[in-house]
Amino acid sequence: MVIQETIVKEDDAASWLEEHIYVPVTVGVVLVGIIAIIIYCCVKNYRKKNSYVYKRLEYDVALAEQLNREREEREIEVRDAAYLKCQFYLRSHPYYGTITQLLDLGSRIDKSWFRVKDNKIQVDRMLTIMPYNPQMVLPFTRGTCKTLKELFSVVQHPYIFPVTDLDFALDENFVVVIQPTRFQDSWFTKYSHKKYGLSMNQVQIFGRQILEALLFLEEKGFPQHSNLHSGNVMLEDNVCRLAGYENVFLGNTSRIHALFRKKLKNKNKDAIDVLSFGHILFEMAYGYELDTAHPGPQQLIGHQPPSVVEILNFIFENESGKYPSLKEITQNKFFSQVQLKELEVFNPAPINLSQSMKSLLKAVKGGKPLKKKRSSSSLKTMVSSDYSGVSAPSTAAPPPLAPPPPPPPPPPPGAPSSASSAPAPPASGGGRAALLSSIQRGTQLKKTVTHDRSAPKL
C-alpha cells in the first residue's frame, strides 16, 4: 500500500513538471549564471594580484623618465637661447670675443655663464646674462647703467670681487655683467654632496675677511648685500673675496631668502646679512648648507670646538631676542684676535660719490622706485633740441612766414606731354624753414588745387 502511494506521488510530480517545464529550466539557467560569475571574479582577482604591482612600477619608471627628458630638453632650449643672445650682444660690442658657454655655475635658473676674451688686454673674462627683473627699484635706462658702472668702478677692496663691466640690453630686456674669471665646476657638481668642514683657524680667517668686506660696503653707504651665500664668495690664494653685491641693485634676491622671512620682522628686519653670514659660518664649520633659518641643537653636535658653537649661538640664539650687528660680530672674541695681513698694507683711496650715485644708493636702500621728474622747461628743451638741426634755436624768435613760392609757368603749347608731367624743382631753403616754422606753430596749410595733365591729348 505504501509503495503504491509513493508511485502515485512520483507520477504527480512528474506530471506537474511536465505541465510546468519552465521552472527547472529557469533554475538551471540561474545556477549556471552564478557559477560563471564566481569563476570570472576568481580569475580577475588572480590576474590583478599577480600583475598590479608590476604594471604600476613600469608606469612610474616611464613617467619619471619622461619628466626627466622634458626637463633636459627645456634646459637645452634655455641654454641655446642664451647662447644666441650672447652672440648677438657681442656682435655689437667688439671689445669682447671668443665666446665659450659654461655650465651652470650657480643656482639661478634664468642666468647663463660664458667665458669671453677681453680684446683690449687679451685676458679671459666671465660674462653673465640674466633677464631684467621687474622688481628692480631703479629705472632700466642707459643713465642708470652708466651710474652703476661708475659706482662699481670706485669699489676697490682686497676682500671684494670687482665688477669690470656692466651693460643693459634695453631692446632685449637683459642685463650683462662681466667679471674676472673664477670658475671651476658646475654648481651641482660642487654642492650636491656633503663634505667635511674647515678647521677653526680657516673659519676664523675666512669669516673675518667676509665681515670686513660687508663692513666696507656698509661704511660707503651701500645697501645690504642681501645675496650673501657661499656661491658669492670667491677664494683666491687663501683670500675670500665677496661677489654678488650688484644683485641688490638689479632686484635679485637670494635663493635662501625665503628661509628668513619669518625672522626678519620688527627689530630684526635689517638683519638679513647677519643671518646669511651665520649660514656661511655654519657651512664652513660643518661642511653642508642649512635648510632652516636657525640650526637645531642636534645639528651643532659634532667634532667642532666649543668656540665655534658659541659664535653660532651668539648669532642665532641671542638672549636679547635681537640679532647682533656685523660690527658686534667682528668684536666678538672669536674674530677680534684675527690678524689680516691684506688690511695692513691696504691704503684705501677716498671715494667721492656724485649726486647721481647718492640718489641711486638712497633709492635702493629705501626700496622705493626712483621716479623720473620732468619739468615743463626740460620738456621744452627736449623739444627744441629735436628741431635744432633744422630750425632756429628755441631762445630765438621763430622766423616770419615767407610768402609761398610762385606757381610754375605753363608749358608752351608745342611742348610734348612728357614735359608737362616733369616734377617741379625743389623749394628753396627759405620755403623749407617756413614750412617747419608753420608746423611748429600748428598752423594749417592751405588747400592746393592740382591739374592732372598726364592724360594724352588727341
pLDDT in tens, 142-185: 999 999 999 999 999 999 999 999 999 999 999 999 999 866 66
Is there a single domain that holds both residue 77 and residue 130?
no
CB 214 within 8 A of CB 241: no
> Residue 282 falls within a domain, yes or no?
yes
210 part of a folded domain: yes
Residues 6 or more apart from 401 whose CB is under 8 A from it? 434, 437, 438
* pLDDT band per the 50, 70, 90 thresholds, residue 392: very low
| pLDDT score at 151 | 95
| Report for 191-205, 274-288, 313-327: range of highest mean pLDDT | 274-288
72 and 188 both lie in a single domain: no
Number of domains the chain is built from: 2
**Any idea what the CATH number is for the domain that residue 249 is in?**
1.10.510.10
Do 53 and 165 lie in a common domain? no
pLDDT at 201 over 90: yes
Between residues 213 and 72, which one has the greater pLDDT? 213
236-292 per-position pLDDT tens digit: 888 999 999 999 999 998 888 888 877 887 767 788 999 999 999 999 999 888 889
**Confidence tier at 362 by pLDDT (50, 70, 90):** very high
Residue with the bigger pLDDT between 176 and 29: it is: 176
Give pLDDT tens digits for 420-452.
344 444 444 455 555 455 544 444 445 555 555
Residue 135 within a domain:
yes
Q: For residue 225, give its domain range.
A: 92-366
Q: Which of 55, 83, 111 is the last residue of a domain?
A: 83
Last residue of a domain, one of 347, 366, 385: 366
195 shares its domain with 307: yes
* Residues 50 and 111 reside in one and the same domain: no
Examine residue 362 and state whether it is found in any structural domain, yes or no.
yes
Q: Quick one: 49 and 171 in the same domain?
A: no
In the predicted model, is pLDDT for residue 326 greater than 70?
Answer: yes
Mean pLDDT (the chain, rounded): 78
128 in the same domain as 40: no
pTM value is 0.67
Three cell numbers written together for 357: 650715485
